[in-house]
Amino acid sequence: MLRQQRETGSIAPLPHGGGRERIIGADKEPLLLSVLAETPDASLDELCERCGVNGSRMSMARALQRLQVTRKKSRCCTRSNKNRRCNGNAKPGKGR
């Protein structure tokens, strides 16, 4: 702070210097949305591959979060036993 006071005459905070650019920026978002419309059950790895993104699954997940796209896979088949119930006819015995 003393050096900044000497050099600039002020101790006000400096502007943010930037950082890394997004791997999936605004230019790839329309492509991502069109790929999702074609294959809504695609995994994050498949989305990275189809969009031509050389990044991680987490970068794809953050891009989907920014676009407010929810990711819930559909089941390929229905569950066989939806309501599991305890057996009411069980005999009380010694606990193991």
Complete domains list, the chain, with CATH: 23-70 (1.10.10)
Do 29 and 63 contact (CB within 8 A), yes or no? yes
And the tokens for 80? 């066989």
Predicted local distance difference test score (pLDDT) of residue 11: 92
For 18, the 3-state DSSP assignment is coil
Predicted local distance difference test score (pLDDT) of residue 20: 87
Q: What is the DSSP letter of 47?
A: H
Per-residue pLDDT in tens (0 to 9) along the chain, 96 residues: 899 999 999 999 988 888 888 889 899 999 999 999 999 889 999 999 999 989 899 999 999 999 999 876 666 656 555 565 555 666 666 655
